[in-house]
Amino acid sequence: MSSTHIFNVEMTCEGCSGAVERVLGRLKGQGVEDFSISLPEQKVSVRSSLSADQLLEVIKKTGKKTTYVATE
Series of mean pLDDT values for 10-residue runs along the chain (72 residues): 96 97 96 97 98 97 97 92
CA dist., res. 45 & res. 24, Å (int): 11
* 50: DSSP letter: S
pLDDT computed for residue 1 by the predictor:
85
C-alpha distance from residue 61 to each of 1, 2, 39 (Å): 25, 22, 18
CA dist., res. 64 & res. 47, Å (int): 20
How many CB atoms lie under 10 A from the CB of residue 48?
22
Domain range summary for the chain, segments of one domain joined by +: 3-38+51-71
pLDDT computed for residue 53 by the predictor:
97
Which CATH class for the 3-38+51-71 domain? alpha beta
